[in-house]
Amino acid sequence: MTPSLPTITGGMNILAFDQSCTAAAAVFIESDCEFNLHVMSSEVHRPKGSGIHRMMDLRYWFDNQVSRISPHLLIRELHNQRTWGAANQLHALAGFIDATAWEYEYIKNNRYLMIPVTTWKKFCLGKGNTAKDTAYMMKINKFFRSCEWLDANGMDPVEDDNIGDAICLAITGFIAYRCHTLKHEVDLTKIQTDALKKSDSMFDYGSL
């Protein structure tokens, strides 16, 4: 059973995956009735083994996260497969999460979002091609401290880039859902508005 849909004035739970073959991250975030986001938990999973054994380890981890948390919104990163060395494996991981979203009926009512790397980086960091250099986590944490939707009071600086990426995915998806599905008017910068111009693609599940 999937959780009931939140009302427009009610809170919701968000689960975001930054999937990886070696260190996949999951972040669980709650939105209160005033749409303030609170990070409840985060986890990095480093699968055991190799080949099919490693991939199935990740498959069960994704499914367990969803069944345990039962979020209202499920979010994953959408990679440009051609730019990644482990393209086939990343494609398989995306398929695992897609299957979980379908099995738990998240594709109904636009509750499953697939967000391109360039989109969330532009929305959160101002540039879609922000590199993971030595200053990367400084930029991520600066965004968290200034983000009007995230309650960062008492929140320790995020040190793991996988967790940082997953939180950014959750924030971007949350705002995209509000604007696209709930039709809320959200105060965004021009860069953030531009980043979400193709938000329809985040909910593109194909057709029967």
Q: Does the pLDDT value for residue 99 go beyond 90?
A: yes
pLDDT average, residue stretch 157-183: 97
C-alpha span between 11 and 40 (Å, rounded): 14
Q: What was the pLDDT predicted at 86? A: 64
Q: What was the pLDDT predicted at 80? A: 67
Could you write out the DSSP letters of every residue in 32-78?
-TT--EEEEEEEEE---SSHHHHHHHHHHHHHHHHHHH--SEEEEEE
- C-alpha dihedral sign at 177, 194, 149, 46: positive
Q: Does the pLDDT value for residue 164 go beyond 60?
A: yes
The confidence band for 172, taking pLDDT boundaries of 50, 70 and 90, is very high
Residues in contact with 42: Cβ distance below 8 Å, sequence separation at least 6, in sequence order = 25, 26, 27, 28, 163, 166, 167
Q: What was the pLDDT predicted at 85? A: 52
pTM for this model (two decimals)? 0.93
Domain boundaries, the chain: 12-202
Q: Three-class SS of residue 80? A: coil
pLDDT in tens, 192-208: 999 999 899 999 999 98
Lowest mean pLDDT among 79-83, 185-189, 196-200, 201-205: 79-83
C-alpha span between 164 and 139 (Å, rounded): 10
pLDDT in tens, 13-50: 999 999 999 999 999 999 998 899 999 999 999 998 99
Q: Does the pLDDT value for residue 163 go beyond 60?
A: yes
Q: What was the pLDDT predicted at 1? A: 46
Nearest to 93 by CA among 155, 22, 190: 22
Q: Which CATH superfamily does the domain covering 12-202 fall into?
A: Ribonuclease H-like superfamily/Ribonuclease H (3.30.420.10)
The confidence band for 90, taking pLDDT boundaries of 50, 70 and 90, is confident
C-alpha span between 174 and 178 (Å, rounded): 6
Q: What was the pLDDT predicted at 10? A: 56
pLDDT average, residue stretch 74-86: 73
Return the residue matching tokens 């998806």: 173
Burial (Cβ within 10 Å: 0-12, 13-18, ≥19) of residue 98: middle
Q: What was the pLDDT predicted at 6? A: 46
